[in-house]
């Protein structure tokens, strides 16, 4: 079964077309990279998937739930890490997670054990009582990913989660999320403009100027070239 299905999505800001007939699907438990240069439409697609914007036509289904007819069920199965951080800097890591857990109806011992489990997954358990303001960028990102795991989503959306991080922090987060995919049945959609975050075994959707240029496993899209070469050829050197 596909965990995420998008069909013929269109979106425009005034006369500016941001998404122009976007469609693809991701099988359960797969890591899918959404690769596209700045302005490709990645964040617009995430806003539609998260229900922040409504598409005039086309469809979205999350874990089999249609966003139009069953938005509550669809959103309940989804975890989102947006491009801009949404943590409260003056709260501790654990407080940020506890608040979010409560929003999802998780309290008491259940919340506490989910929080420990999620922080442990991201190697953040020992920082639970630190204020987010004191954390570096990589640890803040890991906190956000842990938070998005609390309600055990079937599908996790991450919009350029490594932006602004140094190379080791970028690699750590990319590896953590790949591991999550391998170890649980969670499905991931990971937006990026960097080919080095994509593994050849990943699913890959290449988005450019609001259109899907390719949708397949990364190794099939790369063919006998490095993925970076295939990507640049598709989007042009300016991409
Ligand atoms: P990406 O996340 O891939 O960089 P976006 O979805 O942010 O792409 O943007 C897609 C296109 O839509 C770009 O041309 C961008 O300038 C335009 N765009 C995004 N948000 C707005 C907005 N609020 N108003 C007008 N144009 C927008
Ligand atoms: Mg974006």
- The superfamily in CATH containing domain 1-77+154-239 is P-loop containing nucleotide triphosphate hydrolases (3.40.50.300)
Ordered by start, the domain boundaries in the chain are: 1-77+154-239, 85-152
pLDDT above 90 for 235: yes
Q: 18 CB contacts (<8 Å, ≥6 apart)?
A: 11, 12, 41, 44, 210
Identify the residue whose C-alpha is closest to ligand 1 atom 23: 13
What pLDDT does 239 receive? 43
**Ligand 1 within 6 A of 205 CB?**
no
Structural element, H or E, at residue 177 = helix 167-183
pLDDT digits (tens, 9 = 90+) for 178-205: 999 999 989 999 999 999 999 999 999 9
What mean pLDDT comes out for the span 41-54? Answer: 95
Residue of 13, 84, 211 best suited for mutating to test ligand 1, as the one with most atoms within 8 Å of CB: 13
What pLDDT does 237 receive? 65
Identify the residue whose C-alpha is closest to ligand 1 atom 13: 39
Position with higher pLDDT, 30 vs 55: 30
- Residue 124 and residue 232: Cα distance in Å, rounded? 36
> Nearest CA to 75 among 83, 84, 85, 67?
67
> Nearest CA to 104 among 129, 132, 71, 79?
79
What mean pLDDT comes out for the span 210-235? Answer: 96
User: Could you give the residue ranges of the DSSP H alpha helices within 50-107?
Assistant: 71-76, 93-103
How far is the centre of ligand 2, averaged over its atoms, from the C-alpha of 153 (Å)? 22
pLDDT digits (tens, 9 = 90+) for 108-166: 999 999 999 999 999 999 999 999 999 999 999 999 999 999 999 999 999 999 998 99
pLDDT digits (tens, 9 = 90+) for 52-78: 998 888 999 999 999 999 999 999 999
Average pLDDT, rounded, for the chain:
95
How far is the centre of ligand 1, averaged over its atoms, from the C-alpha of 140 (Å)? 25
- Looking at the chain, the whole-number percentage of residues with pLDDT higher than 70 is 99
How far is the centre of ligand 2, averaged over its atoms, from the C-alpha of 29 (Å)? 24
pTM: 0.95
What pLDDT does 236 receive? 86
CA distances in angstroms from 72 to 50, 62, 75, 101, 119, listed in the order given: 11, 11, 5, 17, 26
């Amino acid at each position: 079964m596909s965990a995420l299905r998008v069909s013929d999505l269109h979106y425009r800001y005034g006369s500016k077309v941001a998404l122009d007939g976007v469609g693809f699907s991701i099988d359960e438990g797969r890591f899918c990279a959404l690769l596209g240069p700045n302005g490709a439409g990645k964040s617009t697609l995430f806003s539609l998937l998260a229900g922040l914007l409504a598409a005039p036509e086309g469809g979205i289904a999350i874990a089999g739930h249609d966003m139009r007819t069953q938005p509550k069920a669809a959103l309940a199965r989804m975890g989102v890490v947006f491009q801009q951080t949404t943590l409260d800097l003056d709260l501790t890591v654990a407080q940020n997670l506890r608040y979010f857990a409560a929003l999802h109806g998780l309290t008491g011992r259940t919340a506490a054990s989910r929080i420990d489990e999620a922080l442990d997954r991201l190697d953040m358990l020992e920082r639970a009582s630190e204020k987010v303001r004191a954390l570096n960028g990589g640890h803040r990102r890991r906190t956000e990913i842990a938070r998005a795991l609390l309600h055990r989503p079937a599908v996790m959306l991450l919009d350029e989660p490594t932006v602004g991080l140094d190379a080791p922090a970028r690699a750590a987060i990319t590896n953590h999320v790949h591991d999550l995919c391998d170890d649980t049945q969670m499905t991931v959609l990971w937006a990026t403009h960097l080919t080095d975050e994509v593994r050849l075994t990943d699913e890959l959707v290449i988005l450019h100027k609001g259109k899907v240029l390719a949708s397949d496993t990364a190794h099939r899209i790369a063919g006998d070239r490095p993925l970076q070469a295939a990507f640049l050829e598709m989007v042009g050197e300016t991409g």
